[in-house]
Chain A
């Protein structure tokens, strides 16, 4: 694999001026150097993926481009061949042909699509500008025309908060692309670079295609894209080239056609994860899946109704990882919570370990006592307390073990937490830091550590690797496989079908709140996707015939 490639931007074989050319971007925070002189090129119409673990310098790089951080002297930026003085004043990036879409999209949810789309036009200062009438009819027509041009179907008058997440992301990207278009029209320039910072994290897998399609339309206009993402599928789908950062340095600049996933993961992780682990993390064999069916059933559900669930039956055996695949809204995302007694009004019979009971009797505390653990998908809301130290977050369920004579022994707690931080490879190791100072991947390790501390027999996982970088993701997979080997039953709910193909022994297909079928290895993302759609079509048909 080529470690670095000459930073030439060649599209269709003819050399052009790169849309963005940065050299020696560096930044220190106190004593630590977050970015150690990185060069970056994005060609016109090219999609460059920026890969790296959290803390590798990716966000520092993006923030320098956005004008949040002032780079160290020596850093240079050329947009379309023209030297741009650094640091860029905050908010001025637009005027040099840079537009950003962040993970939180920057949309006002209670305002209309059209208001959000043209928010950039309202910046003009001066009383006369500020009082200039807005003709909403004309604005809506313009919005419709823009959406048509980008092949996006959005109603300009609808409130943004009522759009599904994918459409919100599309709106944010269209807005940014449109800003670049205006910049090009006004300045008579070409080029322009759109920076997409993790825009796909919260989107269901099967809807990401709309995003890919939109990015292709944007690049067809000659706009370069810098795509910051952990999502390897998305990177493979749209990017031409990948730049890999680690510890603030550029450790790779590779064409995606020339690098395998394993190559990229090794670059990202700095060979921390052995090639064997990555390659072992492929499919289980069919025999293994079948063999597990003989094991003891640790989690069993009959006729589970509640939330969007509409009569679910399933069994999870000791040592088995059961994947649940479904489209967003199929009910799969309610399953872990219903089983944990967190959805009011649920009915149906469940068996948790040796405890068989109607699900209305289950509450989180009782479920815990019978050996179940839930790792929720919404880490920010349900998983961690950001303003408390790592140690407290990690051991919050086991505090009674650290009580002595009516006092909580903080020293013992910290010592135990440090040990776990070692075991689960939480970085940085300092457990007195606030949870908020950890990266997403490391926070997730802490959440997992908290529940594994309870030695659960049944693990209910909902999107356990959301917003987690590729390397850490594989560590989490390995951690879970390890537990499964020890006889833990794992229910794994995610819309990331690549992940399911990698970790699951068996996959059940959830649609309209019921289990439509079960599939066994060999798995691939494409197979799971088509099975899920087939299941959705089947239950859709049944509902139609029921109605008539």
Chain B
């Protein structure tokens, strides 16, 4: 029973409740949010600024330096790209838990081919990206062909990959990857920020465009909202979901390339801890820019908001374990917060 509607709703005389005569809110909200939601959309960016001011007041000489921010942007580039991998599956209503392991395996594969088997770095990268994409396709095929729960399937396939990367390397770190790759990810800088950040930025803009301004993005939205509505609208639900996993695999592979470039070496399991961080970013992104939707800009802002806070906490002298606690807690808060927004919206007056 819906008793939570506001009292004002319909006790007005009939003519005021007519669709013909009723005043409706009109807005020029653009791609962002409606005027009423503007505050909500801006909440996280504002919080980000406040956090910067807060840490800045505490330690202006270390925190409030361009070098510090360049560091925050540079060292989180892999996470920045990885969170973009989640967006299409999430919009489709699917959880892909294998992206972090996929990126990790692609890193291992490139290092192994390049160092152990003396492949050129370009062919190794191509092989890595190809592998990541095919792996995404396998996830998608299993999930859509057998209509099984993607959460558990991708958790399992990701674990298989982790095992494989330990197997091919005997659980050793492979060092000595071509410096050319490091040069083109971490070595070159623009405004003293490593170039890989800009790769992530471009991917974010593409994701934003695809999800917001293309029929492809619209199909994903409808599929994620309701499989039944999407099917009745004439969409091929299975292939939309399948493509989501393929895209996730492809972008995760790019994150893997950046990862091996950043480190100059590859260690099994080095990307595993990123899984929770990128989910925290995606779900926190749900609350900002385009609230209520998994959106690229929101996810991007969230990743760097979280990174800024962790860096600030580190500068305050906290132990490394604090970051784990922080990431876990943020995920809980982000999910609860986005649900609260949703409930509150559902309860607000209907028009």
Decide if A and B are genuine partners: yes
**Does A232 make an interface contact (CB < 8 A)?**
no
**Is there contact, CB below 8 Å, between A131 and B210?**
yes
**Is there contact, CB below 8 Å, between B5 and A533?**
no
**Does A121 make an interface contact (CB < 8 A)?**
yes
**Is there contact, CB below 8 Å, between A166 and B19?**
yes
List A residues 142-178 near B (Cβ within 8 Å). 151-155, 157-159, 161-164, 166-167, 170
A120 to B345 alpha-carbon distance, docked (Å) = 27
**Is there contact, CB below 8 Å, between A123 and B225?**
no
**Does B348 make an interface contact (CB < 8 A)?**
yes
Binding stretch for chain A, among B192-200, B230-238, B249-257: B230-238
**Does B151 make an interface contact (CB < 8 A)?**
no
List A residues 196-231 near B (Cβ within 8 Å). 206-207, 210
**Is there contact, CB below 8 Å, between A122 and B235?**
yes
**Is there contact, CB below 8 Å, between A123 and B351?**
no
**Is there contact, CB below 8 Å, between A162 and B348?**
yes
Binding stretch for chain B, among A296-304, A419-427, A535-543: A535-543
A376 to B225 alpha-carbon distance, docked (Å) = 28
Total interface residues on A, CB under 8 Å, equals 70
Q: Which residues of A contact B349 (CB under 8 A)?
A: 162
Binding stretch for chain A, among B9-17, B64-72, B273-281: B9-17
Nearest Cβ on chain B to A511's Cβ, whole angstroms: 6
Nearest Cβ on chain B to A312's Cβ, whole angstroms: 14
**Is there contact, CB below 8 Å, between B292 and A110?**
yes
Binding stretch for chain B, among A39-47, A325-333, A349-357: A325-333
A104 to B14 alpha-carbon distance, docked (Å) = 26
Binding stretch for chain B, among A12-20, A74-82, A132-140, A464-472: A132-140
**Is there contact, CB below 8 Å, between A329 and B214?**
no
Name the contact of A337 in the complex, choosing from B3, B209, B216 (C-beta under 8 A): B3
**Does A111 make an interface contact (CB < 8 A)?**
yes
**Does A94 make an interface contact (CB < 8 A)?**
yes
**Is there contact, CB below 8 Å, between A167 and B19?**
yes
**Is there contact, CB below 8 Å, between A157 and B34?**
yes
**Is there contact, CB below 8 Å, between B13 and A533?**
yes
**Is there contact, CB below 8 Å, between A109 and B225?**
yes
Query: Given contacts A134-B215, A136-B213, are A210 and B18 in contact (CB under 8 A)?
Result: yes
Query: Given contacts A129-B215, A157-B34, A158-B24, are A106 and B11 in contact (CB under 8 A)?
Result: no
Q: Which residues of A contact B214 (CB under 8 A)?
A: 130-134
Name the contact of A111 in the complex, choosing from B30, B225, B232 (C-beta under 8 A): B225
Encoded as 1 (CB less than 8 Å from any A CB) or 0, chain B from 1 to 43 comes to: 1010101011111100111111011110111001000000000
Which secondary structure dominates chain A's binding surface?
loop
A343 to B4 alpha-carbon distance, docked (Å) = 11
A342 to B1 alpha-carbon distance, docked (Å) = 10
Q: Which residues of B contact A163 (CB under 8 A)?
A: 350-351
**Does A237 make an interface contact (CB < 8 A)?**
no
**Is there contact, CB below 8 Å, between A130 and B215?**
yes
Q: Which residues of B contact A543 (CB under 8 A)?
A: 11
Total interface residues on B, CB under 8 Å, equals 50
**Is there contact, CB below 8 Å, between A153 and B20?**
yes
Encoded as 1 (CB less than 8 Å from any A CB) or 0, chain B from 207 to 233 comes to: 001100111101101100110110011
**Is there contact, CB below 8 Å, between A158 and B25?**
yes
Total inter-chain residue pairs, C-beta < 8 Å: 151
Name the contact of B24 in the complex, choosing from A137, A155, A513 (C-beta under 8 A): A155
List A residues 228-283 near B (Cβ within 8 Å). none
Q: Which residues of A contact B20 (CB under 8 A)?
A: 151-153, 210
**Is there contact, CB below 8 Å, between A162 and B232?**
no
Q: Which residues of A contact B24 (CB under 8 A)?
A: 153-155, 158
Query: Given contacts A157-B27, A158-B25, A206-B14, are A382 and B1 in contact (CB under 8 A)?
Result: yes
**Is there contact, CB below 8 Å, between A307 and B3?**
yes
A135 to B209 alpha-carbon distance, docked (Å) = 11
**Does B346 make an interface contact (CB < 8 A)?**
yes
A460 to B350 alpha-carbon distance, docked (Å) = 27
A337 to B2 alpha-carbon distance, docked (Å) = 11
**Is there contact, CB below 8 Å, between A115 and B221?**
yes
**Is there contact, CB below 8 Å, between B27 and A134?**
no
Q: Which residues of A contact B228 (CB under 8 A)?
A: 104, 106
**Is there contact, CB below 8 Å, between B213 and A134?**
yes
Name the contact of B351 in the complex, choosing from A106, A152, A162 (C-beta under 8 A): A162
**Is there contact, CB below 8 Å, between A106 and B229?**
yes
List B residues 127-163 near A (Cβ within 8 Å). none
A135 to B18 alpha-carbon distance, docked (Å) = 30
**Does A399 make an interface contact (CB < 8 A)?**
no
**Is there contact, CB below 8 Å, between A152 and B19?**
yes
**Does A289 make an interface contact (CB < 8 A)?**
no
Look across to chain B and name the residue whose beta carbon is closest to the beta carbon of A170: B19
A166 to B9 alpha-carbon distance, docked (Å) = 14
Nearest Cβ on chain A to B15's Cβ, whole angstroms: 10
**Does A547 make an interface contact (CB < 8 A)?**
no
**Is there contact, CB below 8 Å, between A108 and B10?**
no
Query: Given contacts A106-B229, A123-B233, A161-B346, are A539 and B222 in contact (CB under 8 A)?
Result: no
**Does A512 make an interface contact (CB < 8 A)?**
yes
Look across to chain B and name the residue whose beta carbon is closest to the beta carbon of A529: B14
Nearest Cβ on chain B to A232's Cβ, whole angstroms: 23
List A residues 376-394 near B (Cβ within 8 Å). 376-378, 381-382
With contacts A307-B3, A536-B14 known, what are 11 further pairs, Cβ within 8 A?
A: A106-B233, A123-B215, A131-B214, A155-B26, A158-B351, A162-B345, A163-B350, A308-B7, A337-B1, A337-B3, A512-B11
A-B contact pairs, 20 of them (CB 8 A): A102-B232, A104-B228, A121-B215, A122-B222, A123-B233, A130-B215, A136-B213, A157-B26, A157-B29, A158-B34, A158-B351, A159-B292, A161-B345, A162-B345, A163-B350, A328-B10, A343-B3, A378-B1, A382-B1, A513-B7
The 3 A-B pairs of least Cβ separation, nearest first, read: A329-B10, A108-B225, A122-B215
